[in-house]
Structure 1
Amino acid sequence: MAGPRRYPWARWLYSAALYLLSPLVWRRVWREWVPTHLRRERLGAIVSESGCPRLWLHAASVGEVQAARPLIESLRQRYPRHRLVVTTMTATGAERVKSLFEDEVSHYFVPLDFPGAADRFIARLRPEMALFFETELWPNLLHACHRRGIPVAVVNGRLSAKGLRGYQRVRALMADALGKVDWLAAKSEQDAERFRTLGMPVERTSVVGSLKFDIPLDDATCIDSERLRIERETRPVWIAASTHAGEDEQVLMAHAGLREHHPDALLILVPRHPQRFEEVAALCRRRGERVARRSLDEPVQADTTVYLGDTMGELMALYGTADLAFVGGSLVPIGGHNLLEPASLGVAVLSGPELANFEDVAEVLREAGALIEVADAFALGEALIALMDDPEARHRQGVAGREVIAANQGALQRTLEGLDSFLRK
C-alpha cells in the first residue's frame, strides 16, 4: 500500500508565515503565563530531561486537561516506569494540571510551532511517544517527532464540520502533518472520516469512542456537593457554567424570568475564563443582583440571588449542588463545552444551539431525552420555569443522562490497548 503523500513545501510556507506573524503570535501568548514557568519555554527552552523514559501528552487548555484526566491517571498506572509530561497552551490549563496532579506529572507550556522551537523542545524532552489530545495538530512539532522516530498518536480525535472547512483551506499542509501521525484514535466514525478527508491514512485510524464518557467521580466531589446543598437549604438552584462574553447577559435575563415564578431561585454563575471573574461580578451588580463570591468564601444569604463560582477546579462540585445545569459556550458561537459533566451527576442539562464542538455527544443526549436545547435567553427562562415546576421531568432527564454515559463508556480502555503497541511497560 502506498504511504501517505508528503508536501514538505506546505510546511515551509507555513513556517515562513509564522515567522512573518511572529510579533502577533508572541503578543497573543505573552499573557498566557504563570510565575512558575519561564516564558522562554515558548521557544522550546526547557531543561533537558534525563533518567526514566518520558511519555508526552499535549492538551490545549483547561477543558482538554479535564477531559484527559482519566487518560492521564491511567497512563501513570499502566506505565509506572515512565515520567508523564503534560503540555498546555494556556495558563488556565497549566493551573489545572497543577491542581489535579501536583508534582505527579511534569508540566511545560507547549512551544510555539516555529521549526527551531519545536526541534529544540523535542530534542530536550526526548519522549518515547507523543500524544496530542483532540485536534491539536502542530505541523513542526509533528515533523520534529517524525524526524527522530518518535511515534505520535492523536487521542480522542475530534474534528467538527467547521474545523474541517477551515483545514481544507490548507489541505496540503494538513495532509503532510497527518502523514506523520502513527495512530488516530477517533471519537466517532464521522470524526474519522473528516480526518481521512484531510489525508489521514485509513490503515492508521481507529474509532474508539469519546474519552469524555469515561468521567471519574471521586468521593471528595460528592462531599463538597452535599455540603453546598446543605448551605443552600431548600431553594431552587440552577447553574450556568463555562459562560462567555455576551452569554452572561442572556443568563441573567433568564434568571430574572425564573425569579418572577420562583422568587427564591439561586443562580450559580461560573464564567469560563478567570480573567473575566471581576467583569462578570460587576455585571451582576449592575443588573441589581445580590452576589456572593466563592473566591472570597462569602456565604449564600437569604437575599443572595447569584453565587459567583470564581474559582478553578470546583466545577463538578458546583454542578452537583444544582437542580438544573446550563452549559455555556452555546448561546454564542463558541461551539459549546462539556455536556457530560453535569449529566454524569444526574443533573438535567440545558444548552444553546451552538454545539459544534460536542455535536456527537449532543446527538446521543438529545436522542435519549437527556438534553434540552434553547435558542435564546427567553427560551432558556421558559425552560427553567418548566423544569423547576416539574421535579419528575427533571429526574427523568437526569436518569437518562446517566444511562447515556454508562452505555457509552469504554473509550479509555480501547485507547490504552491501542497505545500498548507503541510503548514498553
Structure 2
Amino acid sequence: MDILLKGIIHDAIFAPSGLVYLLYSYLNKSSRPRIKRWIKTRSKSVLKIEKADIIIHSSSLGETKNSLIFSELIRDKLHNDGLKPHIAHTVFTETPFETFRNVHVIPIPLFSFLVKFIPNSLKLLIFYEKDIWPGYIISAKYKGSKIGIVSGKISKRSAELYRKFRMREIFSYVDFVFSAGDEFTERFEYAGFKNVQSSVDLKNLIFIKNYNFTSDRYKKHKAIVGISLRGNEEVEFLLKTREILKDYALFIAPRHDFEGTKKFLMGKGIDFISLTNISDYTLRSILSERKTKVFLIEGYGMIDKLLPYVSFAFVGGTILPFGGHNVLEPISFGLPVAVGENLWNIKDKDELTQSGVMFVVKSPEEFASIIKKGVDRQKILGYVERKRSRAEQELGKIYSKIKEVLGEKFV
C-alpha cells in the first residue's frame, strides 16, 4: 500500500477519536485547564521545523532530559568522525517544552499535521523511550527518513493494542529498536516491530555526563536535598529529619506542587527561602552562611546545579504510594540516596541497596541515623564507575547502528 494512502487511512481512523477525547476533556472541568495548556503550548511552537538531519523525540520532562544527554553524546561522536548533523528535539508534553530551550512541541499527532511539521532534510527520526506515534512514523517514512527507537519501552497493554489494530506494516518502517531490556524486547516483537535487540535503560547515560562531578574537588556540605517530593507527608518527613540533625541544611524540591508546598511551609511557621534560580555562586554563599536552614526549589532544571554540593539525597514518591522516581540522577553525582518503602517503579532496587548506594528508611530517626553514621564513599564511586562503563558500551553499539543506517556524511 502507498505510504501516502497509509497516512490518510491513519488519520481517518484516529482523528475522530482524538477529537472526541479533546472535546470530552474540555467539557470536563477537572481536565479543562490541562487541555487549555495543551492548546496554548502548541500555539507557541513552530508549525514546521525548517532544517534537521536528525530529530530525537521524547515526551516527559525526565525522558527529554535524558534524550538531550543522548543527543550531546551522539553529536560528539559524529563530530569526531567528521560528521556535522543538525539535530532537533521534539516533545509531546508541555513541561519539557517550557523547561528546555530549542525543543519543539509536535502538533496534533496525525499524519496530515506531522508531514508538514518535519523537514524534507530529515535523515533519521529517533524515538527516545516510549512516546511512539504511528503517524510520526508514517510521516518520517514518507519524507524518506530512517527511523529508530532507543531505550525503547512499551507497556503490555500498548503491545496488545498495536497487535489488535494490525500496526505491523507501519512498524516495519522502523529500521532498528534498542529496547530498555528483555521484557520490552518481547513486547516490541509481539506488537510487530522488527530488528529489535535488548539494550539497557539509557537513564544510565547520566553516569557518563556527570562523572566529573564525583571528583573530590566538589565540596559536599552538610545538606540534604529532597527530590520529586509528592505531598506534604514527604516534606514533613524531611523537616523532622533536619530537626534531628540540627546543623544540616534542607533543600525541598517538589515534583509539581510548588505553591502547595510553599503554603504548607508557611502554615507550619518554617523559616525558608524560595529559590527560583540557582548558580554555583548562590549555592556556595547560602551553604557557607547557613543563616537559613530550609530552601524551597521553585521550578524545574535546577537540581543538577545543586547535587554536586550536597551530601545526601532523598527521592520522593516513596513514602506516599507513588512507587518512587529517578534515583540514578543523584547517585551519578556520587551521592548516597534514601527512599521510603514504596519502590515498585525503581528498577534494580535490590542491586542498589546491596551495593550500598540506596537506603530504604522507615522513619526520620532512621534516616538521620544513617546520615550521622556516614556511608562508604568508595562503594558509591565503584557503582558509578560500573554504570558509566556499561553506558559507554551500549552507547557505542547504538552509535554504530546510527552510522550504519545513515550511510552518508552530512554537509
TM-score calculated relative to the size of structure 1: 0.77
The one-letter code sitting in structure 2 at the alignment partner of 1:164 is: K
The equivalent residue for 1:16 is 16
Counterpart-to-counterpart distance in 1, 2:311 and 2:300:
21
1:130-171 deviation digits (Å, cap 9, x = unpaired): 111100111211222233432211111124xxx323553554
Q: Residue 253 of structure 2: which of 249, 267, 270 is its match?
A: 270
1:105-132 deviation per Cα after TM superposition (whole angstroms, max 9, x unaligned): x53111221342223223x455111111
Amino acid across the alignment from 1:39: S
* 8 A contact 2:120–2:143 mirrored in 1: no
Q: Corresponding residue for 1:241? A: 227
The counterpart of 2:201, out of the listed 199, 210, 229, is 210
- Aligned partner of 1:314 among 302, 306, 315: 302
Change (3 A) 1:33 1:415: farther
1:386-401 aligned at under 5 Å gives the runs 386-391=369-374, 393=375, 395=377, 398-401=380-383
> Any conservation in 2 of the 1:348–1:394 contact (CA below 8 Å)?
no
Give the direction of change, closer, same or farther, for the CA distance of 1:24–1:76 in structure 2 (3 Å limit).
farther
Output one character per residue of 1:267-307: Cα deviation in whole Å (capped at 9) or x when no partner: 2111233xx32322222222232211222769466563321
State which of 335, 352, 366 in structure 2 corresponds to 1:347.
335
Q: Which secondary structure does the structure 2 equivalent of 1:76 belong to?
A: helix
Which deviations, in whole Å up to 9, do the C-alpha atoms of 1:2-49 show, x marking residues without a partner? xxxx9x988754333112223356853542588xx76174xx8225x2
| CA pair 294-25 structure 1, distance change in 2 beyond 3 A | same
C-alpha change, 1:130 and 1:321, in structure 2 (3 Å) is same
| Equivalent pair of 1:290/1:303 in contact (CA under 8 Å) | no
Alignment partner of 1:164 out of 151, 156, 161: 156
| RMSD, aligned CA | 3.5
The secondary structure found in structure 1 opposite 2:298 is coil
Shift of 1:388: 1.3
In 2: Cα distance, 1:286 partner to 1:165 partner? 43
Indicate the residue corresponding to 2:265 in structure 1. Answer: 284
Q: Is the 8 A contact 2:258 2:298 kept in 1?
A: yes
Cα shift readout 1:353-374 (whole Å, capped 9, x = no counterpart): 5555542x54542443322235
When residues 380 and 127 of structure 1 are mapped into structure 2, their CA distance, relative to the original with a 3 A threshold, is: farther
Structure 2 spans left out of the alignment, 5+ residues: 1-5, 27-31
Identify if the C-alpha distance between structure 1 residues 253 and 279 changes in structure 2 by more than 3 Å, giving closer, same or farther.
Answer: closer
> Which one is further off, 299-308 or 322-331?
299-308
Residue 359 of structure 2 aligns with an amino acid whose one-letter code is: I
The equivalent residue for 1:180 is 173
User: Structure 1 CA distance, aligned partners of 2:350 and 2:17?
Assistant: 38
Give a deviation string over 1:389-424, Cα, whole Å, max 9, x none.
211x35365335424423432222221111111212
- Among 362, 373, 378, the residue aligned to 2:360: 373
Give the direction of change, closer, same or farther, for the CA distance of 1:72–1:302 in structure 2 (3 Å limit).
closer
Superposed CA offset, 1:52-101 (max 9, x none): x5211112132112212332113333164321111122343124431xxx
Distance in structure 1 (CA, Å) of the matches to 2:36 and 2:216 = 38
Name the CA distance, whole Å, in 1 between partners of 2:342 and 2:171. 28
1:326 offset after TM fit, Å? 1.5
CA distance in 1, matches of 2:54, 2:150: 14
CA separation of 1:73 and 1:158: change in aligned 2, threshold 3 A: same
Pick closer, same or farther for the CA change 1:421–1:364 going to 2, 3 Å. Answer: farther
Contact 2:213-2:334 within 8 A present in 1 as well:
no
User: Amino acid of the residue matched to residue 128 of structure 2?
Assistant: F
Q: Distance in 2 between matches of 1:108 and 1:92?
A: 12
2:73 is the counterpart of 1:71: no
- Relative distance call for 1:369 and 1:46 in structure 2 (3 A) is same
Contact 1:210/1:411 (CA < 8 Å) preserved in 2? no
How many aligned residue pairs are there?
382
Residue 335 (structure 1) shift: 4.9
1:92 aligns with 95
